[in-house]
Structure 1
């Protein structure tokens, strides 16, 4: 894989998909359907999926591609693949709350090694460089010419005063019970894969997820967090979260800065 080309292509596709998503988001109305798993899907999900899929297949025709909107037709036949969630945070999108993202990642040997997360309504974009380190690019964004980037790094966490981020749409008692094991100075709520990025930039120390997610929901944010020095582990045994699983479903997990003293589930 040519990582330099990958970063150029995925950054451009994320921005182009973000433009399409915002056109629909800012319209007076848009169609919402319900998928077989009872999750919502909008015309923005489908338009962004088509745009990103076409771009990736053209640029990397020999690399397996997995996308949320086409996942029923996918199976993993290798340990290297591209994985896409064209619109993570569909509920945030439908409710016009802004915390939704475009996510494109490369998985190698079960690990998300490169990724881009773009939050078009928040004007924030995070991605890994060819060397695997992570940056945040400052807007406004030009599709062809990258703007100034700032390296991002997880916090040197203070375990007596942790900053925790949790899901805005999927918060529950089990999540609160786990968070209460820590000395928390502040809590944030955020939607979509932005939670990984808040840990990656040091704006939060810990993101526990006690709920259903799929690999396309997490891979790009996981890659960005890896590149910023963070980690993502399974909730039950603190082993690394791996990708390429049958059915693409994730176990519960914890994303965190390594200075955090993790508590048992």
Structure 2
């Protein structure tokens, strides 16, 4: 795999998909359908998925592709694969809250090694470069030329005063009870994979997720966080969160800056 070429392609496809998403987001109305798992899907999800899938298959025809919106791709059994959530945070999109992202990642031997997370409504873009280090690109963005970038790095947390980020749409009592085990300086809420990116930039120290997620929800953010020095572990035993699991469902997990002293579940 040519990682520099992968970064270029993922970045461009994320921007192009973001343009399609924002055209629909800014329209007067859009259709919302319900999938078999009762989750919502919009024409923006479908348009972004078609664009990204076609682009990845053209650029990397020999690499398996898993994408949320194509059920037949969920039968993929490969150690190396590309994985896509074309619009993570559909509820945020529907409610016009802006906290939604385009997510594209590469998984190798169970580990997300490269990824891009683009939040088109917030004009924030995070990705791993050819070496696997994570950057934030500062807008305005051009499809053809990379603009100003800055390296990102996790915080050096003070365990007596942690900054915690939690889900905006999926916050529950179990999450609050776990957060209550820590000395928390402040909390913020964010939707979609932006939570991983806030830990990656040092804007937060800890992101616990006590709720259902799928690998396409987390892989790109996980890659960005890892490239910034962060970690993602299972909630139950603090082992590394692995990818390529049958069905692609995740266990509960914790994303954090390594200086955080994790509490038991």
TM bucket, shorter chain: over 0.9
| 2:191 is aligned with 1:213 | no
Map 1:119-158; keep pairs closer than 5 Å: 119-158=119-158
Q: CA deviation at 1:161?
A: 0.3
State the Cα RMSD in Å: 0.6
Q: Is this contact kept in 1: 2:67–2:73, CA < 8 A?
A: no
Work out the CA distance in 2 between the residues paired with 1:111 and 1:262: 21
SS at match of 2:112: strand
Structure-1 residue corresponding to 2:21: 21
**Secondary structure of 1:69 counterpart:** coil
Structure 2, gaps ≥5 residues long: none
Distance 1:71 1:83 in 2: 13
**Which residue pairs with 1:4 in the alignment?**
4
Q: Determine the structure 2 residue equivalent to 1:167.
A: 167
The answer to whether the 8 Å contact 1:234/1:240 transfers is yes
State whether structure 2 residue 247 is matched by structure 1 residue 247: yes
Q: Give CA deviations for 1:22-47 in whole Å, capped at 9, x if unaligned.
A: 00000000000000000000000000
Contact 1:98 1:121 in 2 (8 A): yes
Aligned residues: 265
Which string of whole-angstrom CA distances, capped at 9 and with x for unpartnered residues, describes residues 186-223 of structure 1? 00000000000000000000000000000000000000
**Residues 46 and 69 in structure 2, CA contact (< 8 A), matched pair in contact too:** yes
Residue 74 of structure 1 and its aligned partner are, at CA, apart by 2.8
Alignment map for 1:93-132 (pairs within 5 Å)? 93-132=93-132
**Aligned residue in 1 for 2:180:** 180
Runs of 4+ in 1 over 4 A off after TM superposition: none
**Mapped contact 2:164–2:207 kept (Cα < 8 A):** yes
Shift in Å, 1:78: 1.7
Unaligned runs of 5+ in 1: none
State how far apart, in whole Å, the 1-side matches of 2:112 and 2:49 are: 20
CA offset at residue 76 of structure 1? 2.9
Is 2:63 the partner of 1:56? no
In structure 2, the residue matched to 1:202 is 202
Question: CA–CA distance in 2 between the matches of 1:214 and 1:72?
Answer: 16
Partner residue, 1:46: 46
**Is residue 74–residue 248 contact of structure 2 (8 Å, CA) maintained in 1?**
no
| Conservation of the 8 A alpha-carbon contact between 1:76 and 1:246 | no
In structure 1, how many angstroms separate the alpha carbons of the residues matched to 2:189 and 2:9? 31
Relative to the length of structure 1, the TM-score reads 0.99
Moved more, 233-242 or 76-85: 76-85
Distance 2:73 2:6 in 1: 24
